[in-house]
Amino acid sequence: MGEAREIREKRFKELRDAPKSPIHSSQPKIQKVPFMLRDHKNFEKYYVPRAVAIGPFHHDNPRCKLAQKYKLMLTSKFAQFVGQTDEDLYKKIEEKIKELRECYVKEEIEDIDDDTLAWMLFLDGCSTLQFIYSLMHEHEEFEKLFEIKRDQVAFAQQDLFLLENQIPYQVLELLMSSSNRREDLKRAIENFVQMHIIVPTEKQSKGQEQKHQPGITENREQKQEPDTTASMEQKVDITENTETKQQPGETTDVNQKQQPSVTIPMEKEPIHLLDLLRKRILGSPKEDVPKKGVGEFSKQTFRNVQELSAAGIHFQPSKSNFLGDISFKSHCFAGFLSLPPISVDDSTGPKFMNLIAYEMCPDFQNDYGVTSYIGFLDALIDHADDVKKLRSASVLFNFLGSDKEVAQLFNEIGTDLVPNTAIYLSVKAELEKHYKTKWKTWMSQFCHDHFSSPWTILAFLGVLSALGLSGIQTWYTVHP
């Protein structure tokens, strides 16, 4: 009886203490993929590292064992690069280990003692910083210098953006602090993230059908106009900057002497690299206020790009290029939907899936910006013909394979999402309003049927000319 009473009292204590224990912390903890996604059929493909384990969750993954050797080499190189001893660098992590432990969900690392965790974060932090810096500045000798194969370099880049493969950004800050190379390292991080976001001009002007491998870096130091990470002129991409078909890790020398100028904006420190990627992709949040009179069109009935196109809606790249920069304008019987350019390759799926998983973490208060974007894109893409239309409009650049594969990818990523309905609310309402305006649809269909080629236009002008000449001739016959 005494034991039963004790259990009951414990249960009631938990019940009474529940309101005092907020579910959400000041910032999200580093954690594993939410349970709602753990039964995904391609879980390992999207969420498990293939080359390098960063942090405690996959530390014992056998296929990442080789990376441990490279971590030691990179860490040794990093200590030399910043001009500090390895012991001094380790002490920076060791002194803050209690604080750094709080960055993780407690239950996930409670079996790891402080010394083990400190050493893990020390190695992972130093090697990550040196990997990124060397990749951005010493890429000509990078593979030879560290004897790292190209495919390992390629997959390691992709692994750095997995939710379960993160270390606190604070670790990187601690290791960069008190070093005269701090600004160089921070700029390298920004450029590395930018490299996985920007759609370069070269990619838009050249062919779109080449398939390439994930994580391939090409335009590390590409020639480009000065850019800022907060600029509204950056091109949106969840892929690597690759133009042509390459082997994994293949690099191309494009103005390698000049590092792109990236201004590091003043903002709240990111939680980890995946969080930094999300910030750069979304840009500054903007309020989407529906226009007056569009409330009745809040229910979406259009299905995809093909249906919108049949209703006279054209697609074009947005002027600014964050994921949230989607807009619609209706002119006469034609409409124009502006979408941020996006490249699609083998790494697109893992990056989007991990960004979505991050937004779904129970302690992360956010606007579901990436989730909402994927939900919107999934509503537009059902079939290969939808992808083809977006390609023709220079909105989507296909480096994955066939258009059917791209459609299947977005249909898979867009399954079971719960987007923020407030995002794109006015855009959807305006689209629906245009779509339901029958005379605009009829006029668009008439123009499509009768003026879809130069020959039909010329024939129409010929008929008009003939009728005009016939009318003039008749007039002169009646009035000689």
Half-sphere exposure of 193 (CA within 13 A, CB side): 26
Residues 460 and 365 in one domain: no
Residues 338 and 381 in one domain: yes
Q: For 252, phi and psi rounded to 5 degrees? A: -125, 135
Hey, what are 243's tokens? 């133009």
CB 136 within 8 Å of CB 146:
no
Residues 66 and 163 in one domain: yes
| pLDDT given for residue 186 in this prediction | 96
State how far the Cα of 90 lies from the Cα of 429, in Å rounded to an integer.
55
Other C-beta atoms closer than 10 Å to the C-beta of 311 total 22
What mean pLDDT do residues 232-261 have?
41
For the segment 466-478, what is each residue's pLDDT rounded down to a tens digit? 677 777 777 677 7
State how far the Cα of 81 lies from the Cα of 84, in Å rounded to an integer.
8
Q: Please determine, for residue 78, whether its predicted confidence score (pLDDT) is greater than 80.
A: yes
| pLDDT given for residue 252 in this prediction | 38
- Length of the chain measured in residues: 480
Side by side, the strands of the sheet bearing 313-317 are 313-317, 334-339, 327-331
Residues 75 and 106 in one domain: yes
CB 12 within 8 Å of CB 18:
no
State how far the Cα of 322 lies from the Cα of 324, in Å rounded to an integer.
5
| pLDDT given for residue 331 in this prediction | 72
262: confidence class by pLDDT, cuts 50, 70, 90? very low
What mean pLDDT do residues 414-443 have?
80
| pLDDT given for residue 3 in this prediction | 81
| pLDDT given for residue 143 in this prediction | 72
Q: Which domain holds residue 430?
A: 212-249+269-436
284: confidence class by pLDDT, cuts 50, 70, 90? confident
Number of folded domains that form the chain: 3
How much of the chain exceeds pLDDT 90, in percent? 52
Confirm whether 51 is domain-assigned: yes
Distance of CA 92 to the CA centre of its chain: 32
Residues 225 and 90 in one domain: no
What mean pLDDT do residues 445-474 have?
61
Residues 53 and 137 in one domain: yes
Crossing angle between the packed helical segments 114-137 and 65-82, to the nearest 10 degrees: 70
State how far the Cα of 58 lies from the Cα of 55, in Å rounded to an integer.
7
Confirm whether 15 is domain-assigned: no
What mean pLDDT do residues 352-364 have?
97
For the segment 162-184, what is each residue's pLDDT rounded down to a tens digit? 999 999 999 999 999 978 899 99
Confirm whether 226 is domain-assigned: yes
Residues 354 and 395 in one domain: yes
197: confidence class by pLDDT, cuts 50, 70, 90? confident
Confirm whether 152 is domain-assigned: yes
Residues 136 and 228 in one domain: no
State how far the Cα of 406 lies from the Cα of 418, in Å rounded to an integer.
21
Confirm whether 164 is domain-assigned: yes
Q: Please determine, for residue 314, whether its predicted confidence score (pLDDT) is greater than 60.
A: yes
Whole-structure pTM value: 0.80
Q: For 321, phi and psi rounded to 5 degrees? A: -130, 30
State how far the Cα of 246 lies from the Cα of 227, in Å rounded to an integer.
27
| pLDDT given for residue 147 in this prediction | 79
Confirm whether 45 is domain-assigned: yes
Residues 183 and 243 in one domain: no
Average predicted confidence (pLDDT) for the chain: 80
Confirm whether 202 is domain-assigned: no
| pLDDT given for residue 361 in this prediction | 96
Confirm whether 428 is domain-assigned: yes
Residues 152 and 273 in one domain: no
DSSP secondary structure, 294-329, as one string: -GGG-S----SHHHHHHTTEEEEE-SS-STT--EEE
Residues 98 and 243 in one domain: no
Q: Where are the alpha helices (DSSP H) in 18-149?
A: 43-47, 65-82, 86-95, 97-101, 106-109, 114-137, 139-146
What mean pLDDT do residues 35-55 have?
95
How much of the chain exceeds pLDDT 70, in percent? 71
Residues 51 and 143 in one domain: yes
Return the closest-CA partner of residue 335 out of 457, 423, 441.
Answer: 441
Hey, what are 123's tokens? 């190695």
216: confidence class by pLDDT, cuts 50, 70, 90? very low
Half-sphere exposure of 78 (CA within 13 A, CB side): 29
Q: Which of 195, 223, 258 is the last residue of a domain?
A: 195
| pLDDT given for residue 239 in this prediction | 44
